[in-house]
Structure 1
Amino acid sequence: MTDAAQSGVIVNVDDYPGGLNACLEAVLMVADRPQTADDLARVFGVGESDVESALASMAARYDEELRGFELRRTARGWQFANRAEFEPVVAAFVTDGQTARLSQAALEALAIIAYKQPVTRAQVAAIRGVNSDGVIRSLAVRGLVREEGVDPDSRAALLVTSGLFLEKMGIDSLDQLPSLAPFLPPSVAAAEA
């Protein structure tokens, strides 16, 4: 839920140039997580169906205009995202000049995602024993992991490695990842086999 929705503030969209569409764009552009049509409707004091219709129309218009971004509807709500075909461009920009190595925590989270994918943030945290949201966000910014789908039980976003991860690892598919068996205790290795 947005902060405005939680505080009960209602914005009159007719007071702003571009009306509802422009207000939706402005909010979704700065939102750090997907927003539901219900929450947006409450903030703007309009019907949920009006918000759904406006969002669907905007998404279609962005598709027609071949923008570098899209308005995506996910299980958790609506959000702006770069189009998948522009991932190499975005990754090159985000990582330009970054020579810093991954931290131990980031390497741990990346290994868990690589070997257990698809996996939720909560599952990564449970395996590591600590909250991993910050390191996962860092991995996503670097273009090494991405969200793909939702867990049917928890409705949480599923994390997978990206094409950039494979490229950086120098492999063509996840099947080429080295086996973990030599690093596991004998009892665990036997159970995994």
Structure 2
Amino acid sequence: MAFLEGNAIKVGVRSLITGLLMKCVETVNFSVLVNGKAGRNIRPTRGIRAKVKEWRRIYGVLQLYESASGQALNKEKTSIMFSNNTSSDDRRRVNQEAGVVMCDSYERYLGLPAFVGRSKYNAFQSIKERIWLKIQNWKTSFLSKAGKEIMIKAVLQAVPTYTIGVFLLPKRLCTEIEGLLSRFW
């Protein structure tokens, strides 16, 4: 929580607002509804600790969900990722108990980067490249102004739509994409 509080203060959020924000974050707890009945309260900590005991609790919740919904966890499609702070013994034990694939990192999830890191520009550079490839494929066609307008509005501007709904793209990247579209026009 010190990270959030420190950054709020650093960017100039007033101490009263910061205090209220921290109360909201620090006092959160959850309960899972199964068939309309609330289970025990779950109080989040700094992530889920990778111990076999915690995995069993998580798996118990998943089993409740499976029995309530009729959906089952597909272990062939399920993978587990551990933080760098997790010891190799704990990783091995949890993985053995879980019976799922262990992975080092998730590069992409639903077509978006799972972890953006410091450079958003580099993380989303692929959007600009996809637009450029579509333009290159269509440049050989002789399109009228109306055809180009339809191409821009229906195809090219649709490429970043899903990503923009999830992430705020860097201005530099937006400007470069805008430049590609205007040069195509």
Shorter-chain TM-score above 0.5: no
Q: Which has the larger radius of gyration?
A: 2
Structure 1 length-normalised TM: 0.24
